[in-house]
Amino acid sequence: MTLTILRRVLAAVGVLLLISLFTFLIFFWLSPDPAVQICGKTCTPERIDQIRTQLGLNLPFWEQYWQFLSGIFTGRTYGEGAAAIDCAAPCLGFSFQTNESVTDMIVARMPVSVTLAIGAALLWLLAGIGGGLLSAVKQGTGWDRGVMMTALAGISLPNYFVALLLQYLLVVQLRWLPFPQSVTFAEDPLLWFQSYLMPWLVLAFGYAAMYSRIVRTNVIDTLGQNFMRTARAKGLDGPIVLRRHALRPSLTPVVTLFGMDFAGLLGGALITETVFGLNGVGKLTADSIAKNDQPVIMGVTLLAAALVVVANMLVDVAYTYLDPRVRVKSA
């Protein structure tokens, strides 16, 4: 058991190293020279050289990569003497456009993305699993068709469209909600909730649509299993048969999906955050791409990858508890 987990962790570390290497390679080769960008229009070759030295861009690839990697664990210093810039560990790079360390920028945006992810996740799990179950148990009825039609809409309508529609309806037309504002929970709990409600709904709609379809398929599949017939042949009560025998096999696969999706959202909901002007990691990503702020793009890319890898690992571990066939080897 411990060995299994240890193996997983080692594999995850390996994957993360590879991802960091590839990300680094891409930016090393493909993107325009950051020194030129920072230097601006009135630039001399000497000045460019100076910046290159300061950023370590004059070094060979492996040395740059090594500096980047070790920076994550020990921090690093850009330049020398009075002009030196300290980037404390875990240093994911330094943005010379904003003069902030990438780590600080991400940490500052994280709370918004986490809030967004948690709220949306609660909503979509509730709606997705509930809808899927209802739809499966009432298969072929109006309930089933209603849920599946809604799900189809959720899957096919783009996020930004739903977001704009919702804003138009709830804020402009019906005036049920104020314009979303960036307040913290401590400042104004009600406004905080009202501001997050629409982004939560928009994000949750898409995911709930997918989840309800998957849960429906899983439940219908489970209902056709032989052990369901056995359960009924024992004389068990209908609801008990459903609750005890159908639910667990149907919902266990959803855990895998949820781990990935949730981790993905922690890495930023690019579209939703942008549409609603939420200052999260997704917005940061979008902004850095627009400005071609490479250290930041690389930082958020690595973060997103790391989150998914870690989530994947956690899901694997969770599975050993959820599915006895994974947990205990046959005797």
Partner 1 sequence: MSLASPRTISIPVPGSTLLEVEHLTVTFPTSAGPVDVVKDASFRVESGDTLGIVGESGSGKSMTSLAIMGLLPRGGTATGSIRLNGHELLGRTDREMRRVRGDKVAMVFQDPLSSLNPYYTVGLQIEEAYRAHNGGSRRNARTVTIEALERVRIADAARRVDHYPHQFSGGMRQRIMIAMALCLEPDLLIADEPTTALDVTVQAQILDLLAELQRETGTGMIFITHDLAVVSQVAQDVLVMKDGAQVESGTAEEIFSNPRAAYTRALLDALPRIDDPFDELKGAAR
Quick check: helix, strand or coil at residue 193?
A: helix
Q: Per-residue contact track with partner 1, 305 to 324, x per CB under 8 A? A: ------------------xx
Binds partner 1 by CB under 8 A, chosen from 237, 243, 277, 321: 237
Question: Does 227 interact with partner 1 (rule: CB under 8 A)?
Answer: yes
Span interacting with partner 1, options 81-89, 128-136, 162-170, 239-247, rule CB under 8 A: 239-247
- Alpha-carbon distance of 265 to 46, in angstroms, equals 43
How far is residue 277's CA from residue 271's CA, in Å, rounded to a whole number?
A: 10
Cα 158 to chain centroid distance, Å, stands at: 18
Out of 45, 81, 226, 239, which residue is the one contacting partner 1 (CB under 8 A)?
226
141 scored as a contact of partner 1 (CB under 8 A)? no
Burial class (CB in 10 A: 0-12, 13-18, 19+), 260: middle
| CB 61, CB 257: distance < 8 Å | no
How many angstroms separate the most distant Cα atoms in the chain? 86
Count of positions on this chain that bind partner 1 (CB under 8 A):
26
Measured from the CB atom, the residue of 41 and 325 that comes closer to partner 1 is 325
Q: Under the criterion CB under 8 A, does residue 1 sit at the interface with partner 1?
A: no
The interface region with partner 1, picked from 95-103, 167-175, 236-244, 289-297 by CB under 8 A, is 236-244
Q: Of the ranges 128-136, 224-232, 271-279, 292-300, which one interacts with partner 1 (CB under 8 A)?
A: 224-232
Residue pair 223/246 in contact (Cβ under 8 Å)? The answer is: yes
Q: In this complex, which beta carbon is closest to partner 1, that of residue 106 or of residue 129?
A: 129
CB of 249 to partner 1, least distance (A): 6
Q: 90 preceded by cis ω (within 30°)?
A: yes
Q: How far is the CB of 175 from partner 1 (least distance, A)?
A: 48
- What is the rounded CA–CA span in Å between residue 125 and residue 258? 9
Q: Considering the complex, what minimum distance in angstroms separates the CB of residue 296 from partner 1?
A: 45
- Residue 82 binds partner 1 (CB under 8 A): no
Residue 331 contacts partner 1 per CB under 8 A: yes
Pick from 137, 236, 255, 286 the residue near partner 1 by CB under 8 A.
236
CA distance 286 to 305: 16
3-state secondary structure at position 182: coil
**What is the DSSP secondary structure assignment for residue 101, as one 8-state letter?**
E
What x/- string results for residues 180 through 219 when contact with partner 1 is judged by CB under 8 A? Answer: ----------------------------------------
Nearest distance, CB of residue 15 and partner 1, angstroms: 30
Q: Over 50-96, what HEC string results?
A: HHHHHHCCCCCHHHHHHHHHHHHHHCEEECCHHHCEEECCCCCCEEC
Residues that bind partner 1 (CB under 8 A): 225-227, 229-238, 240, 244-245, 248-249, 252, 323-325, 328-331
